[in-house]
Chains A and B, each alone.
Chain A
Amino acid sequence: MDPQPQAGKASLQRSRALPQPGEGPPPAPRLGAVGWVRQNLFSTWYNGVLTVVCVWLLYAAGTRVLAWVFATAQWTVVRVNLRLFLAGRYPQDQTWRIWAVVLFVAGLGVASWAAWNAARRHPAAAWFRRRLPLAWFLSFPVVVWLVRGGAGLPVVDTSLWSGLLLTLLLAVVGIVGSFPLGILLALGRRSSLPAVRALSILYIETVRGVPLITILFMAQVMFPVFMPEGVRPDRVLRAMAGLVLFTSAYMAENVRGGLQAVPRGQVEAAMALGLKSHLVVLLIVLPQALRAVIPAIVGQFISLFKDTSLVAIVGLSDLTGIARSILAQPQFLGRYAEVYLFVALVYWIFSYSMSLASRRLERQLGVGER
């Protein structure tokens, strides 16, 4: 199915005879709309049949979906509960703090993007770019302070953290926590110290052998049993810990794949320059290893983001949990389709953004790869 057979031939001929100065690129074959349709959709009789069937199916399904979305569905349930979906039971009069967090993070994101792109031209941008990791690291306590309160702001108890807010907090903490832990576990698994290696393998294989939901249950139900009377760590915190511990095992295996892809010669060259072994790992091995596994890591993050919905089962009101409680409102009984479609859309928007960001990152870091 080559849509442009002429182009292929032309470039072949061009490579045989070197182009003369002034000779332009081969002319693009002019096909036109009718030609394109004939070549791509009706090139043979069975392609023609397939095209007709597919168009009919798309039409039949599409019209029904559109009819349902715009006529049958009653989106009041989403419209009325929008705040509940997004901020959950976060106190109404403190909502500005969530907006402040959104603005703060968005501002930092835009500033990072600008600095990343302008670093070549402006020394100030280059200076900021070098400090980006630090800036993001420091932004974390700021966000926690804004959401949780304390130090001048009224404290909002974690039991009130819910909706999309809780989902995002769980995901961010899970990502930020599991990434370094996963790297350490991956390095541990390749360590030359037998004890470190054995412990890493034991941890990774144990955690990978059980479902996330059991770990979350364990954190919520079993953990307090083992604690002394009166000590009850925060439930949200326990869920976060469960997610981090679970994801870091998978992260470790992803990173290990990247570590194995770095040729031995790289380590030798770095050692031959007199670099100490921690610098060899930090400056030479990890940058190459992580770059090689960006797709796998981002896939892991996306799957973690969606897995946070499991905390609804252990009684936390994340986006999915809130959806269930909204469905229990008497005036919206039975509005499953609308509610879950909306929830799915929200998950999709965030997952797809991560996917887009990862592709951009790959392209940016791909400069000069072998």
Chain B
Amino acid sequence: MQRVASPPDGPIADKKPDEVPGRKPMIVAENVHKWFGGFHVLRGISLTVHLGEVVVIMGPSGSGKSTFIRTVNALEDYHRGRIVVDGIELTHDLKNIEAVRSEVGMVFQQFNLFPHLTALQNVTLAPVWVRRWPRKRAEQVAMELLERVGIPEQAHKYPGQLSGGQQQRVAIARALAMQPKMMLFDEPTSALDPEMIKEVLDVMRNLAASGMTMVVVSHEVGFAREVADRIVLMDSGVLVEEGTPTEFFQNPKEERTRRFLAQIL
């Protein structure tokens, strides 16, 4: 264990007061390239996400959004360029990768809850096995988190007994249990029935309001408009445009962005 866990004050570690939000870079990607075989998925992505910032990545399917967000915690490797997460450069060094992963929470489109564990066990798994917390404390924190995402009464159910929206909220709680410094969301509402999207977006709104650094791949325009500090449009492995929600939706600079917005709005 290279990392000693400090006792949590609450489910989410509070930001230190002396750090000015929007200053400290949490994710720095420089000219990242990636190929799937002969297919050039990421063609020189450069993006910096600062502490406390919420960045929403939009773009047509196949544009490389998910691939990019997955490179940030090394679920995908990259072939050229550089990614530094909270000062740790992602190399092939497993130590670095594990260190980054335990600081970066990830939420998947398909939830990926562990079906053989209850909701509570899903949430306590990583704190117990990675952070080496005693089970009692892990369960206490997990219950707080399940309360925060609004489903404490489902703690002892298995994922198969929960609705999609509930599963995704457990998945968010599971990621938060590691007290990550930032959260990645890979199309968190795309696999949900319409009436469940709101309950998940509400959780994400609260999370953003608490100051969490977030990178969200999503097509939820309302969420992006309201919560994002910055919106990024990706197409064919390139960052086409980035700007504040007002700039992006009201006054897009690029022709490609205008075409994209015409299709989704």
A325-370 residues with Cβ-Cβ distance < 8 A to B are 365, 367-370
Given A283-B129, A370-B160, A274:B101 Cβ within 8 A = yes
Interface membership of chain A positions 263-290, coded 1 if the CB is closer than 8 angstroms to chain B and 0 otherwise: 1011011111111100100011001100
Specify which chain A residues have a CB less than 8 angstroms from the CB of B108 in the assembled complex: 265, 268-269
The reply to whether the CB of B73 lies closer than 8 angstroms to some CB of chain A is: yes
The reply to whether the CB of B126 lies closer than 8 angstroms to some CB of chain A is: yes
The reply to whether the CB of A291 lies closer than 8 angstroms to some CB of chain B is: yes
Return the contact of B160 from the options A268, A283, A288, A368 (Cβ within 8 A).
Answer: A368
Return the contact of A291 from the options B75, B101, B113, B116 (Cβ within 8 A).
Answer: B116
Give 7 A-B pairs besides A268-B75, A368-B115 with Cβ atoms closer than 8 angstroms.
A265-B108, A271-B75, A272-B104, A274-B101, A274-B178, A365-B116, A368-B157
Return the contact of B159 from the options A268, A291, A368 (Cβ within 8 A).
Answer: A368
Could you show 16 A-B contacts with beta carbons less than 8 Å apart?
A265-B108, A265-B112, A270-B114, A272-B106, A273-B130, A273-B178, A275-B129, A275-B130, A276-B98, A284-B114, A288-B116, A368-B118, A369-B116, A370-B115, A370-B159, A370-B160
B90-141 residues with Cβ-Cβ distance < 8 A to A are 98, 101-102, 104-106, 108, 110, 112-116, 118, 125-126, 129-130
The reply to whether the CB of B249 lies closer than 8 angstroms to some CB of chain A is: no
Given A283-B125, A367-B158, A273:B116 Cβ within 8 A = no
Interface size class of A (residues with CB under 8 A): 20 to 34
Nearest CB of B to A192, in Å: 13
Would A273 and B126 count as touching, CB distance under 8 A?
yes
Whole-angstrom CA separation of A193 from B194 in the bound complex: 45
Return the contact of A274 from the options B130, B157, B158, B160 (Cβ within 8 A).
Answer: B130
Whole-angstrom CA separation of A112 from B113 in the bound complex: 30
Whole-angstrom CA separation of A290 from B108 in the bound complex: 25
Specify which chain A residues have a CB less than 8 angstroms from the CB of B112 in the assembled complex: 263, 265-266, 268-269
Interface membership of chain B positions 194-217, coded 1 if the CB is closer than 8 angstroms to chain A and 0 otherwise: 000000000000000000000000
- Footprint of A on B, CB under 8 Å? 73, 75, 98, 101-102, 104-106, 108, 110, 112-116, 118, 125-126, 129-130, 157-161, 171, 174-175, 178
Closest to A274 in B: B102
Nearest CB of A to B133, in Å: 13
Nearest CB of B to A334, in Å: 56
Cβ-closest 7 pairs across A and B: A368-B158, A274-B102, A269-B112, A273-B126, A272-B106, A265-B112, A274-B101
Specify which chain A residues have a CB less than 8 angstroms from the CB of B157 in the assembled complex: 368
Would A279 and B129 count as touching, CB distance under 8 A?
yes
Given A268-B108, A272-B75, A368:B161 Cβ within 8 A = yes
Closest to B122 in A: A269
Whole-angstrom CA separation of A331 from B91 in the bound complex: 80
Would B116 and A275 count as touching, CB distance under 8 A?
no
Would A271 and B129 count as touching, CB distance under 8 A?
no
Whole-angstrom CA separation of A266 from B125 in the bound complex: 13
Specify which chain B residues have a CB less than 8 angstroms from the CB of A279 in the assembled complex: 129
Nearest CB of B to A287, in Å: 5
Specify which chain A residues have a CB less than 8 angstroms from the CB of B115 in the assembled complex: 288, 368-370
Whole-angstrom CA separation of A263 from B109 in the bound complex: 14
Would B129 and A266 count as touching, CB distance under 8 A?
no
Return the contact of A272 from the options B73, B118, B159 (Cβ within 8 A).
Answer: B73
Specify which chain A residues have a CB less than 8 angstroms from the CB of B175 in the assembled complex: 272-273
Specify which chain B residues have a CB less than 8 angstroms from the CB of A268 in the assembled complex: 75, 108, 112
Given A279-B129, A368-B160, A370-B160, A271:B101 Cβ within 8 A = yes
Nearest CB of B to A103, in Å: 34
A15-42 residues with Cβ-Cβ distance < 8 A to B are none
Would B126 and A275 count as touching, CB distance under 8 A?
yes
Specify which chain B residues have a CB less than 8 angstroms from the CB of A272 in the assembled complex: 73, 75, 101, 104-106, 175
Whole-angstrom CA separation of A221 from B125 in the bound complex: 51
Q: Which of A269, A272, A284, A288 has the most CB of B within 10 A?
A: A272
